[in-house]
């Protein structure tokens, strides 16, 4: 079975983010980067599934700039067999649809049996790339997955629901799953794994060959901080009516 794991390189969680001088993206020259934690759980789920089956291949798929190679090597050191690196400027991957289209195009030649992603990215947090990718691939999908087992010609997955409830679902293959963070314990790369990773294949793919994303960030800025307040001196019922009116037509939150 061929399992593809989509991973992303993100700034370390304790990073202090600043907008660059061009206001086009964050200033990344002094940042440290790491694998997106939800994607690390997706990788762990893939490796455990492969080990349980006794065979198969785990392929890492990553879209990002040159520095993303460091994160790809980390995934290979943990046990992935090979990798695909879509070389692209980071600002071009800010839109989930554009990114999913790139990933789907890259997967055409791979024909995977199972695609795994994290539930969301630590930096942008849209939580949409995986489910959009499933639609583009025309794969059945399930989210918030805690466990995967082989079941005949398909798989059985355990989904985390609300209030301590879980759901078991049988899904045919090929399929796409988004893995819940904390579903299992993450492994560390061993010294032998780090050595082996140096000789594993990382195939570079140009985003231009796949079709460049249609969305580009033109301006990035922090929202202005202002202090505004209004006091309604009316009777409670009238004050509530005015508050609802403000929230609906000015703040537009209801």
Quote the tokens at residue 172: 């045919």
Looking at the chain, the whole-number percentage of residues with pLDDT higher than 90 is: 66
The domains of the chain, with CATH numbers, are 2-210 (3.40.50.620)
- Give mean pLDDT, residues 39-66: 95
Under the banding of pLDDT at 50, 70 and 90, the label for residue 216 is: confident
For the cut 80, the answer to whether the pLDDT of residue 113 exceeds it is: yes
Are 49 and 156 within 8 A, CB to CB? no
Q: What is the pLDDT of residues 77-87, one digit of tens each?
A: 999 999 999 99
Whole-structure pTM value:
0.84
Q: What is the pLDDT of residues 224-253, one digit of tens each?
A: 887 778 888 888 999 899 989 988 888 788
Supply the pLDDT for residue 192.
Answer: 96
Under the banding of pLDDT at 50, 70 and 90, the label for residue 92 is: low
Positive or negative, the Cα torsion across 82, 47, 104, 138? positive
Q: What is the mean pLDDT of the chain?
A: 91
Supply the pLDDT for residue 214.
Answer: 62
Residue 24 DSSP symbol: S
Are 19 and 146 within 8 A, CB to CB? no
């Amino acid at each position: 079975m061929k399992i593809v794991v989509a991973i992303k390189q993100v700034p370390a969680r304790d990073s202090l983010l600043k907008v660059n001088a061009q206001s086009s993206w964050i200033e990344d020259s002094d940042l440290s980067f790491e694998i997106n934690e939800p994607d690390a759980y997706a990788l762990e789920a893939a490796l455990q599934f492969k080990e349980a089956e006794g065979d198969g291949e785990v392929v890492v798929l990553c879209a990002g700039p040159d520095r993303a190679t460091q994160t790809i090597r980390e995934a290979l050191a943990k046990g992935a067999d090979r990798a695909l690196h879509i070389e692209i400027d980071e600002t071009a991957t800010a839109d989930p649809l554009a990114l999913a289209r790139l990933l789907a195009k890259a997967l055409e030649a791979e024909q995977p049996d199972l695609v795994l992603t994290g539930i969301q990215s630590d930096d942008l947090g849209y939580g949409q790339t995986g489910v959009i990718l499933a639609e583009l691939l025309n794969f059945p999908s399930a989210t918030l997955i805690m466990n995967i087992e082989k079941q005949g010609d398909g798989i059985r997955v355990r989904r985390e629901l609300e209030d301590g409830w879980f759901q078991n679902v049988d899904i045919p293959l090929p399929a796409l799953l988004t893995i819940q963070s904390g579903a299992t314990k993450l492994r560390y790369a061993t010294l032998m794994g780090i050595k082996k990773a140096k000789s594993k294949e990382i195939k570079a793919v140009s985003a231009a060959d796949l079709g460049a994303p249609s969305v580009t960030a033109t301006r990035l800025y922090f929202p202005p901080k202002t202090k505004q307040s209004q006091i309604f001196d009316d009777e409670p019922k009238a004050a509530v009516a005015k508050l609802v009116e403000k929230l609906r037509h000015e703040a537009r939150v209801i």
